[in-house]
Chains A and B, each alone.
Chain A
Amino acid sequence: MTHISVKVDGTTYEDDVEPRLLLVHYLRDRLGLSGTPIGCDTSNCGACTVELDGVSVKSCSVLAVQADGGEVTTVEGLARDGELTALQRAFHEKHALQCGYCTPGMLMAARDLLREHPHPTTDEIRHALEGNLCRCTGYQNIVRAVQAASEQEVPA
């Protein structure tokens, strides 16, 4: 067992974990933060995308011990005091989700994109989200939503 200390969505947790424990299982099974789902076992689908120390990562491809001393933001930490982010609002307003299973990962990946490229073209959006799969929407409304959020003054 390895002792880790991780700040997740503003709260610091201290735990002893198996070195092989995946970050996504740590979030879901140990911390009960089940807002971040798992969609595959080959890091293709991106459903489990979270932010680790300012960068988006697929939390199925990161060990919990690698997050030791780090700061994680999940989909559950995006809205503050019930105030949705521009991206969350845009996903709702542009109908960018149907079943919603890919949505946490899409939101986190899109957030990463807008941080680096505040005003992406639709092509840039499509390529930036290439690592996040959605089976319901055909992506068109996801692209619209990211574009709409990028036009907001409030940061994503």
Chain B
Amino acid sequence: MDEVQLLQRWVGPGSDPSGTTITIARAVLLRTIEKPVTRPSALLRRARRQAGGSLTKVAGLAAICTSAIMLQPYTPLGLPGHRALGWLSLLLVMRLEGGTGWATGVGLASALGTLAIGRSPNGSFWGVMQYVVAGIGVDAFLAARPQLAKNPLHLAGLGALLLLLVGWITPISNSFVAGASIRGVWVSLSSVGASGWVRLLGSDLGFGAGAGVIGYCVAWVLDRQWRHLAARFGIETGQ
């Protein structure tokens, strides 16, 4: 006899519910069914379905990611795009955990929040536009090719491509904010030597790919640990 059989014999076949139990339970259910409830909007229901039934989880995660992006420190590394390991990977986590729209939402909230607390790279609106554009990019690419989300290497490619596209927003906007003309910016760009271009592009590609892999890994860990954490802290999981 194995453990399962032993347990089955230990407690016996189990008791059937009495007629009273069934009647009361049915009455409780009917009261819920008949109660005029305010159904959540179609948008909310869709968001909940996308989030795997738990909006609490995704909303909490969005708040954490937004705060983390807003407060991400500036390090003196001097490597172009290295901060994307933080903010871009968090946008990817939001898309993987919450579904379409969450990366854009968090990107927008982070941009506004960063501006509000005065931590924009150059203090202007354009300095934080990369969060918004990258958020839109993450949502758009993964909506068009959802299978990219299943492979960390594909996400690394997506991260590299996105950072390559948006990594230019801050330096170019910095130049315009500082009063440079289009011609001046062009001259500045064309004067960058080959080694400079290799360093710039290499950094963007490398850090973007790194952000993709980190985003995938964080989402993977969250998926595996979420129910355990929810049970521990008594958070509603949607089941």
A associates with B: no
Q: Contact residues of A with B, CB < 8 Å?
A: none
